[in-house]
Amino acid sequence: MPDTSSKAKKPAPPAKTDRRWGSDVIVDMLHRYELPYAALNPGASYRGLHDSMVNYGGNKPVMMLCQHEETAVQIAHGYAKACGRPMVAIVHNLVGLLHSNLAIYYAYIDRAPIFIIGATGPMDETKRRPRIDWTHTALVQGTAVRDYTKWDYQPTVVDGVPESFARAYGVMMTEPQGPIYMCYDAWLQEQPLEHDVPLPPKTSMPVPASYSADPAALARAADLIAAAQRPVILAEFVGRDPRAFDHLVALAETLGAPVYDVNSRLNFPGCHPLNMSMVKEVFRDADLILCLDVRDWERATTELVSTTRKLTSIEPPDCTWIDIGFGDLELSSWAMDYQRLKHAQLRILADTTLAIPALTDLVRGKIAGNAGLGKLIEARARKTGERHRAARAKWAKEAREDWDASPIPLPRLATEIWEAVKGEDWVLTANTLEDWARMLWDFDKPYRHPGKSLGTSTQIGISLGVALAHRDAGRLVVDIQPDGDLMFDAGALWVAVKHRIPMLVVMYNNRAYYNDWEHQIRMARLRGTPVERAHIGMDLDTPNVDFAGLARSMGWYAEGPIEHGKDVGPALKRAIARVKAGQPALLDTITQKR
């Protein structure tokens, strides 16, 4: 990557002084818990902490300047999803916290552990600057995000910093994980530290041990599963722990049972013969469904008529449901991400990372010596493998349809990217091109994909965090980037160059907010209004955005617009060479709307 800082002066070394300040204690805790990075948008409310991090802390955690607080939180979100470790996001006072709200909410529903630091006040009215410190201060600032953080706290004296920090870290990292918010009074940060503040003992356990399933309940689950003729495994957040990826393979192979991966994390190898993800038919004759760390059980097991919102279950009415996961521990009285309650016959509260191998051992015990059960499992696995191969053959055939069309069909773009990256140690960040990447690529390792994309305005920031997490491993990180999403925060492109985060962005540029456009088409057809007017308020053309020019202006290698599939492969080769040399690269590929 070009040295974008060549004209900047070399920073002075950290100042070494004997005097200490309140904010130094916060830095002590950041070091104690080895938080590696701090993404931030600067603000005066934490000027004391900022100085302590730069000088007393030697820029550890490493500061990452962002143009928006949402981007700062999203980078931490993607980093946590990709590697399972938390980093810090720092937001300025009340206004910065309000800017970051949506990103915090998405981290909460996606179980991403983020240590969010904010600041307020001073709460001492006599220390407030005229007007600005008043308009930027709230009475208990954490209430702004309390409904979608696991915990928030504001210590009143510097001696309360270590204990509350340690508690926040433990709460954040205890499953189900999620963001926490620590708010530090500006005057607390800026006061001289007149006495030593004890830190937590180094021998203390920062996070409680995971909890196992109730043995009797797990034994009952094993009995029900062994007795089932056509069990199906449904998995959603299992893959948050890479160990569970292999655990789930072992369980599925022991049962010969198909697996449907909801893909909030990558839970199961894509080309494994028992992978039946995106094939809903597998549920139609199921006599038992085993849900493993699942919230979104409905999408896979129902059919929706979008225009009328009619929902129809496709599994047999006498199907047995077993739910193993965190269940009611995730319930919020505000955010309804808990979704509809499934009245399962057996509900087990447990960490699936521990419960899956324990359940596998129990089932293996029942298979041993039972020749009939062993033959049933072999036949079941063979049939599922045949269905898996047929599905992938069908998708491969469908991918060749309209191959030479322009704009580029999504299956062709997915295929071209796969051909370019399959020889690399690759990672796909979020978007899967309407699942064509999942249908055509080989997701063979748990780190290949941290989980499906979330709402609009989230993907570029999360993708930066994923790329940061894999940077030191030298992996090729690919972001299939929707145009509407990037328009929310095009400034995030600057962050990749500033902080030397090489990644490949391939635009999923259909020049529209087409997800919503489709909804307007449905309404038009339902109501008999002109379909030709459905695009109003949805299109992103006239003018067309020059994403390649935008990226180049911030130091990226970029090409485009590319409208023909034949031009994608050579462009990918050039772009990947730049990424491997350390420079982020963007290809603006123009795609069909669906």
Mean pLDDT on 252-261: 98
pLDDT beyond 70 at 223: yes
The whole-number pLDDT of residue 219 equals 97
Q: Both 152 and 223 in a single domain?
A: no
Which residues, including other chains, have CB under 8 Å from residue 396's CB and lie 6 or more apart? 440
Q: Among 408, 477, 400, which Cα is nearest to 439's?
A: 400
Q: Could you read off the pLDDT of 366-393 as tens digits, one per residue?
A: 999 899 999 999 999 999 999 999 999 9
**Domain end position, chosen among 377, 395, 413:** 395
DSSP for residue 350: -
The reply to whether 1 falls in a domain is no
Q: What is the mean pLDDT of residues 493-497?
A: 97
Same domain, 175 and 232: no
Chain mean position to CA 75: 10
Which are the contacts of 81, defined by CB distance < 8 A and separation ≥ 6? 110, 112, 265, 450, 451, 462, 465, 466
pLDDT band at 3 (very low <50, low <70, confident <90, very high): very low
In a domain, 489, yes or no: yes
| pLDDT (average), residues 455-482 | 96
Q: Minimal CA–CA distance to 56: which of 89, 14, 88, 22? A: 14
Please indicate, yes or no, whether residues 377 and 451 belong to a single structural domain of this protein: no
Q: Answer yes or no: do 49 and 73 share one domain.
A: yes
Say whether both 405 and 391 belong to one domain: no
What pLDDT score was predicted for residue 341? 87
466 three-state secondary structure: helix
Q: Provide the total of helices (H) and of strands (E) in the chain, helices listed first.
A: 21, 18
Residue 41 belongs to a domain:
yes
Work out the pLDDT band at 26, boundaries 50, 70, 90: very high
State residue 2's pLDDT score: 39
DSSP 209: P
Helix 352-367 to helix 371-399 angle (10° resolution) is: 130
Nearest to 185, CA basis, from 262, 112, 122: 122
Q: Which residue among 369, 395, 421 closes a domain?
A: 395
- Residue range 574-583, pLDDT digits in tens: 999 999 999 9
**Which tens digit of pLDDT belongs to each residue from 450-463?**
999 998 889 999 99
Tell me, yes or no, whether 328 lies in a domain: yes
Tell me the average pLDDT across 333-352: 90
- Residue-wise pLDDT tens digits, 296-325: 999 999 998 888 899 999 999 999 999 999
Residue 281 predicted with pLDDT over 80: yes
User: Is residue 386 domain-shared with residue 464, that is, in the same domain?
Assistant: no
Residue 135: which pLDDT band, with cuts at 50, 70 and 90?
Answer: confident
pLDDT greater at residue 11 or residue 509 = 509
Interval 557-569: pLDDT, tens: 999 999 999 999 9
**Which tokens belong to 470?**
């894999």
Do residue 44 and residue 131 come from a single domain?
Answer: yes
- The pLDDT, as a whole number, for residue 5 is 41
Residue 461, helix vs strand vs coil: helix
154-180: average pLDDT: 97
pLDDT value of position 30: 98
Best CA proximity match to 268, nearest among 286, 289, 242, 300? 242
Q: Which residues pair with 587 in a beta bridge?
A: 506, 559
- Between these two residues, 536 and 174, which has the higher pLDDT value? 174
Torsion of CA 392, 398, 399, 405, to 10 degrees: 180
CATH code for the domain in which residue 92 is found: 3.40.50.970
Of 105-114, 266-275, 535-544, give the lowest mean pLDDT range: 535-544
Whether 447 and 474 have beta carbons less than 8 Å apart is answered as no
Q: What was the pLDDT predicted at 514?
A: 76
Nearest-5° angle of CA 99, CA 101, CA 107? 130
Q: Is 57 among the domain residues?
A: yes
pLDDT of residue 540: 83
Assess if residue 528 is contained within a domain. Answer: no
pLDDT of residue 9: 58
For 160-172, what is the mean pLDDT? 98
* Sequential DSSP letters for 105-145: HHHHHTT---EEEEEE--SSGGGPPTTHHHHT--TTGGGGT
Q: Tell me, yes or no, whether 286 and 172 share the same domain.
A: no
Same domain flag for 390 and 405: no
Mean pLDDT value across residues 254-279:
97
pLDDT at residue 121 in the model: 84
* pLDDT (tens digit per residue) in 502-549: 999 999 999 888 778 788 888 889 899 998 898 888 888 889 999 999
- Report if residue 517 sits inside a domain: no
- Residues 263-289 have a mean pLDDT of 97
User: What is the pTM (predicted TM-score) of this model?
Assistant: 0.95
Q: In percent, how much of the chain has pLDDT > 70?
A: 98
Last residue of a domain, one of 395, 429, 454: 395
Same domain, 504 and 473: yes
Instruction: Classify residue 215 as exposed, middle or buried by CB count within 10 Å of its CB (0-12, 13-18, 19+).
Output: exposed
State residue 1's pLDDT score: 44
Least confident range of 219-233, 299-313, 400-414, 465-479: 299-313
Sheet strands side by side (includes 426-428)? 426-428, 476-482, 504-508, 585-589, 557-562
77-101: pLDDT as tens digits: 999 999 999 999 999 999 999 999 9
**Contact assessment for residue 476 and residue 580, using Cβ atoms and an 8 Å cutoff:** yes
Contact 345, 321 (CB under 8 A): yes
Q: Same domain for 248 and 122?
A: no
Q: Is residue 132 domain-shared with residue 225, that is, in the same domain?
A: no
pLDDT reported for residue 327: 78
Structural domains in the chain (count): 3
Q: How confident is the model at residue 16 (pLDDT cuts 50, 70, 90)?
A: low
pLDDT > 90 in the chain, percent = 84
The closest alpha carbon to 495, from 43, 76, 9, 51, belongs to 76
The number of CA neighbours under 13 Å toward the Cβ of 69 is 20
List the domain range (segments joined by +) for residue 98: 22-190
pLDDT at 179: 98
Is there a domain that residue 488 lies in?
Answer: yes
Supply the pLDDT for residue 4.
40
CATH number, residue 325: 3.40.50.1220
Distance (Å, whole) CA 326 – CA 337: 13
